[in-house]
Structure 1
Amino acid sequence: MFAGQGRFTCKGMKHRIPLHRIPVLNKWLDRPPRVAVVRLSGVISTSGRATLNDATIGPVIERAFAKGAPKAVALLINSPGGSPVQSALIAARISRLAKKHSLPVYAFVEDVAASGGYWLACAAEEIHVDAASIVGSIGVISSSFGFDRLIESHGIERRVYTSGDSKSQLDPFKPENPEDIERLKLLQSDIHDAFKDHVRESRGTRLGDDPALFTGAYWTGKRALDLGLVDGIGHLVPVMQSIYGDKVRFTRFGVKRSVFARFGLEVAQAALSGAQAGVQERSHWARFGL
Structure 2
Amino acid sequence: MKETFSEQKKARRWGIVFKSLTFLYLFVALFMVMQSTALKPGPKQSEDHTAMVSIKGMIAPDQDANANAIVTALRNAFDNEQAKAIMLHINSPGGTPVQAGYVYDEIQRLKGLHKDKKVYAVISELGASGGYYIAAAADEIYADKASLVGSIGVTASSFGFEQTLDKLGVERRHFTAGEHKAFLDPFSPLKQDEKVFWQEVLNDTHQQFIDAVEQGRKDKLAGQDKTKLYSGLIWNGRQAKALGLVDGLGSPGTVAREVIGHETIVDYTVKPSPLAAFTKQLGLALGTGIAQQVSQPGLAM
Please tell me the TM-score bracket, short chain as reference: 0.7 to 0.9
Give the TM-score normalised by structure 1: 0.78
In structure 1, what is the equivalent of residue 168 of structure 2?
A: 154
Partners in 2 of 1:244 and 1:197 — Cα distance? 27
Matched, 1:234 2:234: no
Matched, 1:41 2:21: no
Deviation of the 1:57 alpha carbon: 2.1
Matched, 1:72 2:85: yes
Partner of residue 276 from structure 1, selected from 279, 283, 287: 287
Q: Which amino acid aligns with 1:234?
A: G
1:193-221 Cα shifts (integer Å, max 9, x gaps): 11111111111111142231011111111
In structure 2, what is the equivalent of residue 216 of structure 1?
A: 232
Q: Which amino acid aligns with 2:70?
A: I
Q: How does 1:162-201 map to 2 (within 5 A)?
A: 162-201=176-215
1:139-162 Cα shifts (integer Å, max 9, x gaps): 111111111111100101121111
**Between structures 1 and 2, the one with greater helix share:** 2
Partners in 1 of 2:77 and 2:172 — Cα distance? 51
Contact 1:45–1:83 (CA under 8 A) maintained in structure 2: yes
Q: How does 1:6-45 map to 2 (within 5 A)?
A: 33-45=48-60
Give the TM-score normalised by structure 2: 0.75
Matched, 1:253 2:271: no
Over the matched positions of the two proteins, sequence identity in percent amounts to 37
- Which protein, 1 or 2, shows the higher relative CO under an 8 Å CA cutoff with sep ≥ 6? 2
In structure 2, what is the equivalent of residue 59 of structure 1?
A: 72
Deviation of the 1:278 alpha carbon: 4.8
Q: 1:281 to 1:163 in 2, by over 3 A?
A: closer
Matched, 1:98 2:111: yes
For 2:203, what is the secondary structure of its paired residue? helix
Partners in 2 of 1:274 and 1:105 — Cα distance? 37
Contact 1:158–1:174 (CA under 8 A) maintained in structure 2: no
For 1:71, what is the secondary structure of its paired residue? strand
Partners in 1 of 2:241 and 2:57 — Cα distance? 23
Partners in 1 of 2:149 and 2:288 — Cα distance? 24
Q: 1:270 to 1:214 in 2, by over 3 A?
A: closer
Contact 1:32–1:248 (CA under 8 A) maintained in structure 2: no
CA RMSD of aligned residues (A): 2.3
Contact 2:60–2:67 (CA under 8 A) maintained in structure 1: no
In structure 2, what is the equivalent of residue 122 of structure 1?
A: 136
Q: 1:216 to 1:152 in 2, by over 3 A?
A: same
Aligned length: 245
Contact 2:64–2:272 (CA under 8 A) maintained in structure 1: no
Deviation of the 1:270 alpha carbon: 7.3
Q: Which amino acid aligns with 1:38?
A: V
Q: Which range moves more in the overlay, 38-47 or 269-278?
A: 269-278
Partners in 2 of 1:280 and 1:232 — Cα distance? 41
Partners in 1 of 2:260 and 2:68 — Cα distance? 32
In structure 1, what is the equivalent of residue 19 of structure 2?
A: none
Deviation of the 1:250 alpha carbon: 1.4
Q: Which amino acid aligns with 2:270?
A: V
Partners in 1 of 2:89 and 2:291 — Cα distance? 23
1:57-101 Cα shifts (integer Å, max 9, x gaps): 221111111124311000000111110011010111112112212
Partners in 2 of 1:261 and 1:198 — Cα distance? 32
